[in-house]
Structure 1
Amino acid sequence: MERDVSGQMPESCDAEQGRPPFLLVTVVPYTLLAALVIFKVVVERSAGDDSLLIDLGLCGLAAGWMLGMFTLRPAWWERPLIMGVFFAGLVVITAILVARDPVFGLFTPAPYIYAFTILRWPWRLLGVAVVAVVAGVAQASDVPKTTALGLTIFVIIVVVNIVMMCVTAWFLQLAEQEREQRLQALAELSRTNRLLEATLAENAGLHTQLLAQAREAGVLDERQRMAREIHDTLAQGLTGIITQLQAAEQMHDVPERWHRPFEAVKTLARESLAEARRSVDALRPEPLETARLSDALTDVADRWSRLHGLAVQVTTTGTVRPMTPETEFALLRTAQEALANVAKHARATRVGVTLSYLEHEVALDVRDDGRGFEPAGLEAGTVGNGASQPPHRGGGFGLTIMRQRVEGLSGSLRIESEPGAGTGISACIPILPAGSHT
């Protein structure tokens, strides 16, 4: 298809504007040529002019040139060199026709059309000027050129044609550039809107996850508060009751008739204390209710392996020590999120989870041999574990939640990865006594 200076379809030939290029660059030139052929046949046959055959032959050459070089060769329309040869040949044929008979100046709109539609800037300006010379010569054919006045008029007519058509070409070029700028501005605006929508979606997703995290943290805090209250009040009170009853039995001889009530009170107190302790244990985070952290990690890994068909090696090193439920909960959730990211992004063949009890801290490492990513992308929020991806696809949310949870316990989260070399996530949290509260 013919193009403008930007390589795009000219506005006048844009099919989307309702002006198909075929009608302009094919129908109009052939129609002009056919009308001139009919005119020449009618006029010259009645005048008995023997040059009719030559004129008809030149008209046939023009038609064949347009047909063979342009109409039947749409693949050539986007090749500037071939189109330049086609245009030059058509101008030469037109100039010969005009030299033979000025009436063929009526055919000059055809090369004008091709100049405006297939020539690129600034060659379009030169092409229009050349056609304007041919058209001016045809228009000034009756002006005598043997006198200075006649020659001056002839030159003026040609120059006026050149100036008018070149100015027209210049303004059309400016209009096309303005249109192209508008299209580019619209495209940029559309791209900006898409980025804004993606950012809003990302923010909404992050906000949702943060709300879920806040609710989760609130529930956990409330569970821990209730556990502390039960432990510090009810359980301690029941323990004191049992201790005082035992001391009373040791200090005084309990009458025989009091033995049964004493035993009943102690039994009831012990049972209530056991219930209180079970309530405290029940308030520990899932799935730590019935297992230590290492056992809970093994259970999580086993369930993940069964779901995704990839074995996870769980290793515990160092001396197992008690820690706060908040620490256990944070490490367990970190492992779950890291494994979820491996499943979504990494395409790994090996996955390992290591729980290390160090001197002053506990460390959790989750490593895979998957695709990896460029850690620098984390600053822009463009990656998830094991994959580089745009923010609107959710990359980095899980890592953000992990980091917030770990750093909330004065810990640190490190991420090591490179494309093709797998990913390692390491969470380290200081060990506090199990009865401490952060």
Structure 2
Amino acid sequence: MSIPVARWPYVLLVVLAAATFMDRRPEPLELVLCAVTAGWLAAGMAAWVRPWVFGVGLTAVTAALVVFNPLFGFLTPVPYFYAFRTLTFPWQPVGVAAVAVVAGTAQSYAVDKSTPVGFAIWVAVMAGNAVPLCAFAFFNRRLERQEAERAQALAETREANRRLAESLAENAALHEQLLVQAREAGVREERQRMAREIHDTLAQGLTGIISQLRAADESTWPRHVAAATGLARESLDEARRSVAALRPEPLRTARLGDALAGVAARWSELHDVPVQVVTTGEARPIAPEAEFALLRAAQEALANVARHARAGRVGVTLSYLENEVALDVRDDGRGFDQARAEGFGLVAMRQRIEGVAGTVQVESEPGAGTGVSARVPVTA
């Protein structure tokens, strides 16, 4: 570290040298020491000169000048300045004490140090210089330490505030992203719900109406038209209830077993296929959403029988088990290859049942009929 050199040490040195000339003729060595002091002050600008080396050298040449002429004691403020400016704790009090010895020696130059009183005066003068200045060095060290601690605390606070701001910004971005995802998920869920409801109400109703109209002839058309009209009204009512997110009509006025029996009876009347509905076990409460899902699963399974199975009979079994309720719909139709066929109806059925923590299994193979089993947990 280079030592900043001001002009005032040179001015003070010149003044003291001139005062020495005015007092007496200086010794050649004094002039040499003055030149050395000036050169050493200039050497402080060099990067190779370490601070403690510069302080020791400056104190030494000042002490040598004081030995020749106590007038140079007025030069001691210069090493004091550099001792405080360049030395660090714990060397700063040592350097200050060394300069105080030089200053005390200059101030007590005329005292006879060979006598006890004179020596005591010399010691008292040095102590008068060293004690307050060393105390100031310790106090200055304490202030520097406190300032460093405050600066470190301020830096840590700023860093914590920066991290907090970054965290808040990240949280805000994440919150916004979650809101967008929640909105998108809500839109997808509502679209899926409406698709399932349309499939379970309008699509199945229209399919039944078309089947009734196709089956009508001159002798039976009044019955088929009446059935198609009733099916259209029922489908329209169910569509309205689906849009309003209400429970389907069969579950509004009856329990699940009775609702399944009613649905099966209407389906059997429309399609001229006998359906046997059996309820086993002790009926126990399940969530309304689970009842709704089981009813829709039964409607979907029966609709698939009407569209694809060409069955001669159908069996619907509702089983209340220990921890779950099972719905089984089986037919003796032509079956299908599961690896090659699973339409939206079965997909919607799975979504409904799995949405209430249930499971769906389909068993079928060509020529062996089809079995659909849906299971949902009971209410704890």
The normalised TM-score by structure 2 is 0.57
The answer (yes or no) to whether the contact 1:324–1:432 under 8 Å persists in 2 is: no
Alpha-carbon distance change, 253 to 234 in structure 1, aligned in 2, over 3 angstroms? closer
Amino acid at match of 1:186: L
How far apart, CA to CA, are the structure 2 residues paired with 1:66 and 1:133? 21
Alpha-carbon distance change, 35 to 120 in structure 1, aligned in 2, over 3 angstroms? closer
- Determine whether 1:167 maps to 2:135: yes
Q: 1:61 is paired with a residue of what secondary structure? A: helix
Number of aligned residues: 250
The answer (yes or no) to whether the contact 1:33–1:59 under 8 Å persists in 2 is: no
- The residue aligned with 2:267 is none
**Which of the two has higher C-alpha Rg?**
2
- Determine whether 1:57 maps to 2:27: no
Amino acid at match of 1:65: W
Amino acid at match of 1:195: R
Deviation string 1:52-107 (CA, Å, 9 cap, x unpaired) is x4323212111211212x2132xx47xxxx32222211111111011111111111
Q: By how many angstroms is 1:197 displaced?
A: 0.5
Q: By how many angstroms is 1:42 displaced?
A: 4.8
The answer (yes or no) to whether the contact 2:16–2:72 under 8 Å persists in 1 is: no
The answer (yes or no) to whether the contact 1:139–1:157 under 8 Å persists in 2 is: yes
- The residue aligned with 1:147 is 115
- Determine whether 1:206 maps to 2:188: no
What does 1:242-253 align with in structure 2 at a 5 Å threshold? 242-249=210-217, 252=219
- Determine whether 1:112 maps to 2:80: yes
- The residue aligned with 2:46 is 72
Deviation string 1:296-351 (CA, Å, 9 cap, x unpaired) is xxxxxxxxxxxxxxxxxxxxxxx7885858999xxxxxxxxxxxxxxxxxxxxxxx
Q: 2:216 is paired with a residue of what secondary structure? A: helix
The answer (yes or no) to whether the contact 2:111–2:121 under 8 Å persists in 1 is: yes
- The residue aligned with 1:229 is 197
What does 1:382-401 align with in structure 2 at a 5 Å threshold? none
Deviation string 1:248-274 (CA, Å, 9 cap, x unpaired) is 23x82669xxxxxx9xx99xx9xxxxx
For structure 1, list consecutive stretches of 5 or more residues without a partner in the other structure: 3-21, 256-261, 270-275, 277-318, 329-407, 411-429
How far apart, CA to CA, are the structure 2 residues paired with 1:409 and 1:195? 43
The percent identity for this pair of structures is 44
Amino acid at match of 2:61: I
How far apart, CA to CA, are the structure 2 residues paired with 1:62 and 1:327? 99
The answer (yes or no) to whether the contact 1:115–1:127 under 8 Å persists in 2 is: yes
- The residue aligned with 1:178 is 146
- Determine whether 1:37 maps to 2:14: yes
The answer (yes or no) to whether the contact 2:73–2:102 under 8 Å persists in 1 is: yes
For structure 2, list consecutive stretches of 5 or more residues without a partner in the other structure: 233-238, 240-338, 363-371
Amino acid at match of 2:25: D
Q: By how many angstroms is 1:223 displaced?
A: 0.4
Alpha-carbon distance change, 239 to 129 in structure 1, aligned in 2, over 3 angstroms? same
Amino acid at match of 1:252: S
Deviation string 1:226-279 (CA, Å, 9 cap, x unpaired) is 111211111111111111112323x82669xxxxxx9xx99xx9xxxxxx9xxx
Q: By how many angstroms is 1:163 displaced?
A: 1.1
Q: 1:97 is paired with a residue of what secondary structure? A: helix
Quick one: which of 52, 60, 65 aligns to 1:97?
65
How far apart, CA to CA, are the structure 1 residues paired with 2:86 and 2:359? 77
How far apart, CA to CA, are the structure 1 residues paired with 2:85 and 2:98? 15
Amino acid at match of 1:54: L
The answer (yes or no) to whether the contact 2:20–2:71 under 8 Å persists in 1 is: no
The answer (yes or no) to whether the contact 2:51–2:87 under 8 Å persists in 1 is: yes
Amino acid at match of 1:49: R
Q: By how many angstroms is 1:147 displaced?
A: 2.9
Q: By how many angstroms is 1:207 displaced?
A: 0.3
How far apart, CA to CA, are the structure 2 residues paired with 1:205 and 1:320? 44
Amino acid at match of 2:9: L
How far apart, CA to CA, are the structure 2 residues paired with 1:432 and 1:102? 110
Quick one: which of 206, 214, 218 aligns to 1:238?
206
How far apart, CA to CA, are the structure 1 residues paired with 2:149 and 2:212? 91
Q: By how many angstroms is 1:151 displaced?
A: 1.7
Alpha-carbon distance change, 47 to 243 in structure 1, aligned in 2, over 3 angstroms? closer
How far apart, CA to CA, are the structure 1 residues paired with 2:356 and 2:103? 87
Q: By how many angstroms is 1:136 displaced?
A: 1.1
Alpha-carbon distance change, 72 to 228 in structure 1, aligned in 2, over 3 angstroms? same
Which structure ranks higher in relative contact order (CA pairs < 8 Å, sequence separation ≥ 6)? Answer: 1
Q: By how many angstroms is 1:433 displaced?
A: 7.5
Deviation string 1:196-228 (CA, Å, 9 cap, x unpaired) is 011101111110111011101110011011111
The answer (yes or no) to whether the contact 1:327–1:409 under 8 Å persists in 2 is: no
How far apart, CA to CA, are the structure 2 residues paired with 1:228 and 1:187? 60
How far apart, CA to CA, are the structure 2 residues paired with 1:233 and 1:326? 13
Alpha-carbon distance change, 204 to 320 in structure 1, aligned in 2, over 3 angstroms? farther
Alpha-carbon distance change, 110 to 227 in structure 1, aligned in 2, over 3 angstroms? same
